[in-house]
Structure 1
Amino acid sequence: MTIRVGYFPHNNSLFVLRHRGILENLLPDVEWVDLRELPRPAPVDPERGLPSLHSDHLFDGGYDFIGTGFTPPVTALANGRDIVYVGISGPRVENGRLVAKADSGIETVLDLKGKRVGIAHGSWQTTLALFALDQAGLAWKDIEPVDVDVHDGGAALLRGDLDAWVGAYPGLAAVEAAADLRTLVDTESLFSHPSLWFTRRDFAEGNREALTAIITALQQSDAWIKANPRAAAQYFVDDVVARGGTASLDAWEAALRGRPFGVEPVSEDFLDEQQHAADLLAANGLLPRTVRVRDAVVPWIGDAVRAESGVTA
């Protein structure tokens, strides 16, 4: 049986694993699926809903296993997809923040009422923006959300096309170098923002050995990233260059050094954050319904992650 693993640069762990050959040593028949090459769904109005790209391909045969940021599994569950969590990383609180130009006159999140806020809609950035608004006593309808690419958002902020932007490293570093920015809210004050991995319930239950092999390979590859951040950064730079762009090896190395690596079992605190996000997204009209995120927890998967990570229950 061919095991299809979806990957893209935004999930650093899977992107490096794709290039290391570790999983192939454990699973003889692996197919790597570049998410950037798959058909994209019709655009979703960021004022009215969330795209479900990742779960769509997980259930239409595009791939069997995927790693993303915070929001996609909540979106999948709300759209009736029978996913299960596999694991999470440690907190990525240094990865990004909500910023505005220092000379914009925007000093707090409250000043964003009626303003254009750039996000990569459907990613963790949507959750960060919504958490920030809720903390300030605002709702999604109080801003004009603008769906921007992770990289294009910074340029739009500098041009004045956006009033604020949820930026992430390494792209945020270039904007910091080009303009004085004001941090409206950081990530740490809102949520833990881990990387996470999930799959279909039927795949997990029917392919336990394969899923355990993927967890093992991720742990081994992530240990290599921690020991070799500059060599790992080169994979990302090479990918950008191959696509006709430019990238800084130093910036990518700094970004990787600031991120946690290693797969951990889902925690109660993480599930509480996911539930809070699901409830807020539904209340603000971005999901068709709210969900119970703990329905996506399978105990034996947590045990497998603990066994591979050395974490005790």
Structure 2
Amino acid sequence: MKRPLTILALTASIALAAAACGTTNADAVRDDGSVNLSEVTLVVGDQKGGSEALLGAAGELEDVEYDIEFKPFTSGPPLLDAVSSNAVNIGGVGNTPPLFAINESKDLKVVQGSEQSAEGDAIVVPKDSDLRSVEDLKGKKVAVAKGSSANFNLLAQLAASGLGWDDIEPVFVQPAEGLAAFKGGHVDAWAIWDPFTSQAELDVDAHVLSSGKGLVNGLVFQVASDAALEDDATRAAIEDYLARIARAQVWTNENPDVWAKRWAEDTGLPVEVTERAISRRSFTPIAVPDAVESEQEMWDAFAEQGQVDGDPDLTDYFVDTFDAAVLEAARQ
């Protein structure tokens, strides 16, 4: 969480540079068409305190037949840039990055989805701020990561308050930059997600102006590259990986204390921060097509504000290929 931005940006650049050769596992397919998973490497885009920490805490990184190589990213949009180019095969993001990737015609598919509360998706203001409602944001500087789940939450909050994108001065920054700008008083508000919301509340006594609870869908997704899905060996590893993600997500609902400690260890955040973040959400794996209706509503809202264009068929990008395996794993 506190790693220098330059290092994180460099990591993302290296991952993207690797796209020239991509990542495939063609040699792992036997002559009879079966897959030797022991010869497969699955490259996973991750965010701090994300999939690697989750799987590790739930014991889902044990007894894996294939190798998993995790690559860190600052947020969903740069992660999906790497997915699209197959610099990474798959990665976890929030509800908004896939829409911006679709808008840019990126070569990827949403292959797993889970619902969680959007209470931790919030707009926060400094403790001594005189801003008391979303309406008060008119003419103010608001930090937000472009194309992130916070981007849509901010848009939805503004719309619900009778404001539009042009009524504020958005400051597009990644989370670490946003935290610095917020602490330094360079912005009037910050649209963000947990654990950053909890960090702002506990570290600098930030006040939650509004949350996405009851307003935004709170969905999180696993997104795979088209190239990875077309590679038989990588596809087989992805199916197993998604089942592990689903089991781990359900596990967090039943073991919040253990998960909070592991999340804190992975991010360097105080456990009080991760405990608060976890108290505001629980995972429910869903069938991917069930996400399309609310994601379409999000698309329409972005289109109205001129942030996306075109009229894609989202069902082409939200696929049910792995739903049977994922939902069965969640039931286990």
TM norm structure 2: 0.75
Q: 1:94 to 1:199 in 2, by over 3 A?
A: same
> Could you list the per-position Cα deviations for residues 243-287 of structure 1 after superposition, in whole angstroms to 9, with x for gaps in the alignment?
xxxx2112213322432235322253x322211222222332323
Deviates more, 1:51-60 or 1:17-26: 17-26
Where do 5+ consecutive residues of structure 2 fail to align? 1-24, 26-40
Which of 17, 21, 32 is matched with 2:70 structurally? 32
Please state whether the residue corresponding to 1:195 is helix, strand or coil. strand
Which of 213, 232, 238 is matched with 2:265 structurally? 238
Which of 24, 47, 60 is matched with 1:22 structurally? 60
Which of 46, 51, 58 is matched with 1:7 structurally? 46
Give the total of aligned pairs.
Answer: 290
Which residue of 1 is the match for residue 207 of structure 2?
A: 181
CA contact (8 A) 1:24 1:30 kept: no
Which of 273, 286, 300 is matched with 2:307 structurally? 286
> Could you list the per-position Cα deviations for residues 88-132 of structure 1 after superposition, in whole angstroms to 9, with x for gaps in the alignment?
222222213123346534333232222101112221000111111
Q: How does 1:150-299 map to 2 (within 5 A)?
A: 150-154=175-179, 156-177=181-202, 178-179=204-205, 181=207, 183=209, 185-207=210-232, 208-241=235-268, 247-268=269-290, 270-299=291-320
Partner Cα separation in structure 2 for residue 32 and residue 77 of structure 1: 24
Please identify runs of 4+ aligned residues in structure 1 that moved more than 4 A: 18-21
CA contact (8 A) 2:124 2:206 kept: no
> Could you list the per-position Cα deviations for residues 36-94 of structure 1 after superposition, in whole angstroms to 9, with x for gaps in the alignment?
5xxx9xxxxxxxxxx94222211323211110011111011111123222222222222
Q: 1:129 to 1:29 in 2, by over 3 A?
A: same
Which residue of 2 is the match for residue 97 of structure 1?
A: 122
TM norm structure 1: 0.80
Partner Cα separation in structure 2 for residue 16 and residue 66 of structure 1: 13
Q: Residue 136 of structure 1 aligns to which amino acid in structure 2?
A: S
Compute the RMSD of aligned alpha carbons. 2.9
Where do 5+ consecutive residues of structure 1 fail to align? 41-50, 242-246
CA contact (8 A) 2:86 2:225 kept: no
Quote the sequence identity (%). 26
Partner Cα separation in structure 2 for residue 159 and residue 168 of structure 1: 19
